[in-house]
Amino acid sequence: MAVGLPPRWRKVLRDLLTHKLRTLLVVLSIAVGIFAILVVMGGRGILLRTFGDNFPKSNPSTGILYTSGFDASVLERVRLFPGVRDADGRRLVTLTYRVGDVISLPEPPVQETQAVRSKAIELMSSADWTTSRLELVFPQNGAPWPPPRGGVVLEVSDTQIASLAVGDLITVDAPGGGKKLLRVAGFAHDINSFPAMFVGHIRGYVSADTMADLGAPKAMSELLVSLDTTGLDRAGASRIISKIRDDVVAPTGVDVLATYVPDIGSHRLGDIFKAVSVLLLALGVLALILSGFLVVNTVTALLTQQMKQLGIMKAVGGTSWQITRMYLVLVAIYGALAICIGLPAGAFMASWFAVFAGGLLNFGPGSTSPPLSAIELAVAVGFVVPLVAAYVPVHAGTRVSVVEALNSTGMSGAHFGHGRVDRLLGTIRGLPRPVALALRNTFLRKGRLAMTLATLVLAAAVVMSVGSVRASILATVTDMSSWWHYDEQITFAQPVNARLAAREAAKVSGVSGSEGWIVAAASLRRGDGTENDALSVIGLPPATTFITPQITQGRWLVPGDTGVVVNTDVVKSENLSVGDSVSLKVRGVDCTFKIVGVARGQMMGPVFFAEVTKLDSLLSFQGSITRLMVRSDSHAAADQDATGDRLERRFSGLGLLVSGVQGQARQSESFANQLGILVTFLIIMAVILATVGVIGLVGTMIINVLESTREIGVMRAVGASHASIFRVFVTEGFVIGVLSWAGGVVLSFPMSWALVQLLQSAIGVPLTYAFSWQVVALWLVVVSAISAAASLLPAYRASQVSVRDAIAYE
DSSP state of 484: B
Question: Toward other proteins, which CB reaches closer, 27 or 102?
Answer: 27
Q: Of 201, 209, 179, 200, whose CA–CA distance to 100 is shortest?
A: 179
Q: What is the CA radius of gyration of the chain?
A: 34
Question: Toward other proteins, which CB reaches closer, 407 or 581?
Answer: 407
Strands 202-207 and 151-155: antiparallel
Q: How far is the CB of 751 from other proteins (least distance, A)?
A: 41
Question: Toward other proteins, which CB reaches closer, 415 or 503?
Answer: 415
The type of residue at 439 is: L
Neighbours of 526 (CB within 10 A): 17
Q: How far is the CB of 406 from other proteins (least distance, A)?
A: 7
Please give the C-alpha separations between residue 600 and each of 250, 553, 556, 800, in angstroms, as whole numbers. 36, 9, 11, 66
* Residues in Cβ contact with 73 at an 8 Å cutoff, skipping those fewer than 6 apart: 252
Q: How far is the CB of 315 from other proteins (least distance, A)?
A: 5
Q: How far is the CB of 453 from other proteins (least distance, A)?
A: 27
Q: Cα(first)–Cα(last) distance of the chain, in Å?
A: 22
Neighbours of 108 (CB within 10 A): 15
Residues at the site binding other proteins, with contacts judged by CB under 8 A: 4, 6-8, 10-11, 14-15, 18, 308-309, 312-322, 398-404, 406, 414, 808, 810
Q: How far is the CB of 414 from other proteins (least distance, A)?
A: 7
Question: Toward other proteins, which CB reaches closer, 19 or 179?
Answer: 19
Question: Toward other proteins, which CB reaches closer, 19 or 79?
Answer: 19
Question: Toward other proteins, which CB reaches closer, 169 or 400?
Answer: 400
Q: How far is the CB of 331 from other proteins (least distance, A)?
A: 16
Neighbours of 101 (CB within 10 A): 13
With 0-12 / 13-18 / 19 or more C-beta atoms within 10 angstroms meaning exposed / middle / buried, residue 784 is middle
CA dihedral of 13, 18, 19, 23, whole degrees rounded to 10 = 40
Q: Per-residue b/e over 374-411, b at no fewer than 16 CB within 10 Å?
A: bbebbbebbbebbbebbbebbeebbebeeeebbebbbb
Question: Toward other proteins, which CB reaches closer, 4 or 231?
Answer: 4
Q: How far is the CB of 387 from other proteins (least distance, A)?
A: 20
Q: How far is the CB of 308 from other proteins (least distance, A)?
A: 8
Question: Toward other proteins, which CB reaches closer, 79 or 395?
Answer: 395
Q: How far is the CB of 404 from other proteins (least distance, A)?
A: 8
Please give the C-alpha separations between residue 483 and each of 540, 621, 668, in angstroms, as whole numbers. 15, 28, 11
Would you call the peptide bond into 495 cis, given omega within 30 degrees of 0 as the criterion? no
Continuous segment of H or E residues that includes residue 63: strand 63-70
Continuous segment of H or E residues that includes residue 629: strand 624-632
Q: How far is the CB of 3 from other proteins (least distance, A)?
A: 10
* Residues in Cβ contact with 775 at an 8 Å cutoff, skipping those fewer than 6 apart: 463, 464, 466, 467, 468, 470, 471
Question: Toward other proteins, which CB reaches closer, 319 or 373?
Answer: 319
Question: Toward other proteins, which CB reaches closer, 7 or 109?
Answer: 7
Question: Toward other proteins, which CB reaches closer, 321 or 773?
Answer: 321
Question: Toward other proteins, which CB reaches closer, 399 or 594?
Answer: 399
Question: Toward other proteins, which CB reaches closer, 308 or 650?
Answer: 308
Q: How far is the CB of 409 from other proteins (least distance, A)?
A: 12
Question: Toward other proteins, which CB reaches closer, 107 or 810?
Answer: 810
The type of residue at 398 is: T
Contacts of residues 109-113 at CB distance under 8 Å and 24 or more positions apart, as own/partner, are 112/642, 112/645
* Residues in Cβ contact with 460 at an 8 Å cutoff, skipping those fewer than 6 apart: 690, 693, 740, 741, 743, 744, 745, 747, 748, 779, 783
Neighbours of 590 (CB within 10 A): 10
Q: How far is the CB of 270 from other proteins (least distance, A)?
A: 58
Q: How far is the CB of 12 from other proteins (least distance, A)?
A: 9
Q: How far is the CB of 440 from other proteins (least distance, A)?
A: 18
Q: Is the CB of residue 623 less than 8 Å from the CB of residue 497?
A: yes
Diameter over CA atoms, the chain = 103
Q: Quote the CA–CA distance of 327 and 512 in Å, as a whole number.
A: 80
Say how many residues make up the chain: 810
Q: Quote the CA–CA distance of 505 and 514 in Å, as a whole number.
A: 7
